[in-house]
Structure 1
Amino acid sequence: MGMSVTIGLADHQDAEQILKLQYLCYQSEAELYGDYSIEPLTETLAAARAEISETCVLVARLGPEVVGAVRGRVDADGTACIGRLIVHPRMQRHGLGGRLLVAIEDRLAAERAAARYRLFTGHRSEGNLRLYRRLGYAPVSTEQVSRHLSLITMEKEASASVAAAV
């Protein structure tokens, strides 16, 4: 009998597993853009612990192992900024990324009054773009960060999340 993946709040004890998983998951992004100095690959354990205590961080667990995570915070205007959505490579393409994204949206709306959601991804990250579009996000801006990277900002209203789930 196999174990099922559960999603819940991260605590400071999860920081090291999250950071190791993040490092693993962002290797493909770094390779895609030819930049291994991206923030997810240089984040410190202290910074990860601080983010866990200051924002909403969810983890997906398979038994005791953290196999996915996502972070979010809500600004004063009600905009939830979602980031660092990661899923272990062996667990990808099974819907876990979508489950994590919907879980953080639900939590940020219920507990922190999010009115809209915002996230970003690189222009070459086709898998991310497909997932976000499928879950109702639409591009609202593009910013050229470097010669090799443009960041696409995507948003959706919180009410769109409820409609998509029904």
Structure 2
Amino acid sequence: MGMSVTISAAAEQDAEKILKLQYLCYQGEAELYNDYTLEPLTQSLDSIKAELTASQVLVARLGEEVVASVRATVDADGTAHIGKLVVHPRMQRHGLGGRLLDAIEQRLTTDGAAHRFQLFTGHRSDGNLRLYRKHGYEAVGSQRVDERLTLVTLSKETEPVAYVASA
């Protein structure tokens, strides 16, 4: 019998697992852009521990193994900034990235804090761009970082919450 993937809030003891997963997942991005100095590849364990405290961080587990993760913060204007959505290479193309994206969006809108979502990815990251567009994100800008990389910013408004009046 196979195990199912569960999504939950990350705990402090997940920091090292998230760091290792992030390092593994960003190898493809580094190769794509010929840049192994990308921030997710150089981020420290202490920095991830700080993000666990300051951000909403979700993980997907297969048994005890962390196989995916995503982070987000909400600014004072109600924009949720989603970042570092990573899925273990052997778990990709099974809908897990979309499930995590939906889960973080739901978590950030449940309390009404987020009114829009924003994220970015590299211009050559076709799989990422396809995933985000499938989930309703639209390109709203781009920024050329250097001759190899242009960051594409994507955004979407939150779904209106329907309230049911009771008599």
TM-score, normalization: structure 2?
A: 0.95
Q: CA deviation at 1:110?
A: 1.1
Aligned partners of 1:123, 1:14: CA distance in 2, in Å? Answer: 30
Q: Which residue of 2 aligns with 1:105?
A: 105
Q: Does 1:141 align with 2:137?
A: no
Per-residue CA deviations over 1:32-75 (Å, capped at 9, x if unaligned) read 00000010000000000000011100000000000000000000
Q: Which residue of 2 aligns with 1:18?
A: 18
Aligned partners of 1:112, 1:105: CA distance in 2, in Å? Answer: 11
Look up the equivalent residue of 2:38 and give its one-letter code.
Answer: I
Look up the equivalent residue of 2:55 and give its one-letter code.
Answer: T
Look up the equivalent residue of 1:98 and give its one-letter code.
Answer: G
Aligned partners of 2:133, 2:126: CA distance in 1, in Å? Answer: 10
Q: Does 1:46 align with 2:60?
A: no
Q: Which residue of 1 aligns with 2:165?
A: none
Unaligned 5+ runs, structure 2: 163-167
Q: Which residue of 1 aligns with 2:115?
A: 115
State the identity as a percent.
64
Q: CA deviation at 1:113?
A: 1.3
Alignment size in residue pairs: 162
Per-residue CA deviations over 1:15-41 (Å, capped at 9, x if unaligned) read 000000000000000000000001000
Aligned partners of 1:21, 1:4: CA distance in 2, in Å? Answer: 19
* Superposition map of 1:73-92 within 5 A: 73-92=73-92
Q: Is the 8 A contact 1:116 1:157 kept in 2?
A: yes
Q: RMSD of aligned C-alpha atoms?
A: 1.3
Question: Looking at CA atoms only, which structure, 1 or 2, has the larger radius of gyration?
Answer: 2
Look up the equivalent residue of 1:62 and give its one-letter code.
Answer: L
Q: Secondary structure, in 3 states, of the residue corresponding to 2:32?
A: helix
Q: CA deviation at 1:161?
A: 10
Structure with higher helix content: 1
CA spacing shift, 1:132–1:150, aligned 2, 3 Å = same
Q: Which residue of 2 aligns with 1:125?
A: 125
Q: Which residue of 2 aligns with 1:62?
A: 62
Q: Which residue of 1 aligns with 2:158?
A: 158
List structure 1 runs of 4+ shifted beyond 4 angstroms: none
Aligned partners of 2:48, 2:111: CA distance in 1, in Å? Answer: 22
TM-score, normalization: structure 1?
A: 0.95
Aligned partners of 1:44, 1:161: CA distance in 2, in Å? Answer: 38
Aligned partners of 1:146, 1:124: CA distance in 2, in Å? Answer: 13
